[in-house]
Amino acid sequence: MLGDLPNEKINPLVIFGAGASYDLVSEHDNRNFKEAEWRPPLTNNIFATNNNFFKKIQTGYGKDIDGLISEVRSRMRSGMSFEEVLTGIHKDEWEEDKENSEAMSLCWYLKMLFSEISDECIKNVEGTNYSGFFRKLKRFCKDDEVFVVNFNYDCLAQYSLSNILACNFNTLDSYIDNSIKLIHIHGSVLWEGNKSGDVEVKNDIKTHSGTPVLAIPTRNKDFVCPSKHIEKLILNLRKVNAVIIIGWSGTDKYFAELLELVGPQVRKLIVVSGENEGVEGARDILQNCGLNRLSCRMVWIPGFSVLNSRFYDFTEPLKATDYF
């Protein structure tokens, strides 16, 4: 997959979005996963109407987000995305009121939802696409530094990477201490703010004592990971020569601005997205994040499960028909 690039040191940037967790495991390996109510949602399904698993968590917040849920669903019926709706609400109502109780209740809902989802997936799903991908990446890159930017709140990528690298993520620094560095750019269900204003890592998914450290899912989400993580990432972006996007829409404004640091040394862009999105959808993703400006070989692969089933090793060459 990356081995057919010219003979040079490969420094890939990996980006995970909601589609990566949604396609956590091949349905051939776990047939119950497709219909499971605890399957990680795509962003537009965060307020799913016909999901009892989600509904139980939604009703736990009663009046605090009931009106918000109604308004978001109503606006989405007009064709707006979940993030577009919240972007408008954030700009109109929440931006000036940093202590807005509705916004905080939404963060708590997201923390509890993705904590419960992570717990169910860890208990019920094995042989995940994250684990298979990280195994290949570790073997291909050996001890070279690789940066993985994770837009997901869940801890499924972290759980798999911890097993593959035989490491623990007990502190914020530990996320960037290993050869494969995991940047939870919008926060994690395992991160909590304490009374002193510091962020701690709580690896017990079921224990919640501090405040959520999650960015509200708008088009202009703030980075909530440590500045040290962003600084290291920026230094690496100037050296990236291949980008692998898995299940990410490319619509995050601030991260797209960071990607402007990625230059013409990039030799390949690999976009892994839903089968229904097709090549045109892959082009849209690259346009959304600005990487369509690069003159390089572009590849589309229909889904995380397809990526793992077709490529057993990162050194395998791609077929001529994969390029667009």
Is residue 212 in a domain?
yes
β-partners of residue 221 are none
Q: What is the pLDDT of residues 79-91, one digit of tens each?
A: 999 999 999 998 8
Of the pLDDT bands very low, low, confident and very high (cuts 50, 70, 90), residue 99 is low
Of the pLDDT bands very low, low, confident and very high (cuts 50, 70, 90), residue 7 is low
pLDDT greater than 70 at residue 25: yes
Is residue 209 in a domain?
yes
Q: What is the pLDDT of residues 137-168, one digit of tens each?
A: 999 988 899 999 999 999 999 999 999 999 99
Return the higher-pLDDT residue of 97 and 52: 52
Domain count, the chain: 1
CA-nearest of 98, 110, 40, 34 to 72 is 110
Rounded to the nearest 5°, which phi and psi values hold at 16?
-105, 130
Q: What is the pLDDT of residues 53-67, one digit of tens each?
A: 999 998 887 678 999
Is residue 81 in a domain?
no
With a pLDDT cut of 90, the percent of the chain lying above it is 75
Is residue 90 in a domain?
no
Res 288: pLDDT: 96
Q: What is the pTM of this model?
A: 0.95
Query: Using CA atoms, how far apart are residues 249 and 119, in angstroms rounded to an integer?
Result: 25
Res 320: pLDDT: 77
Of the pLDDT bands very low, low, confident and very high (cuts 50, 70, 90), residue 220 is confident
Radius of gyration of the chain (CA): 19
| Beta strands, E only, 248-321 | 268-273, 297-302
Q: What is the pLDDT of residues 180-196, one digit of tens each?
A: 999 999 999 999 998 88
Residues with Cβ < 8 Å from 239, sequence gap 6 or more? 11, 265
Query: Using CA atoms, how far apart are residues 70 and 191, in angstroms rounded to an integer?
Result: 29
Mean pLDDT across 124-136? 96
CATH number of the domain at 228, please: 3.40.50.1220
Domain membership of residue 153 as a residue range: 12-30+126-322
pLDDT greater than 90 at residue 4: no
pLDDT greater than 80 at residue 96: no
Res 37: pLDDT: 96
Indicate the average pLDDT of the chain. 92
Mean pLDDT across 24-51? 92
Is residue 176 in a domain?
yes
Is residue 265 in a domain?
yes
Is residue 203 in a domain?
yes
CA-nearest of 155, 300, 165, 152 to 221 is 152
Is residue 93 in a domain?
no
Res 101: pLDDT: 86
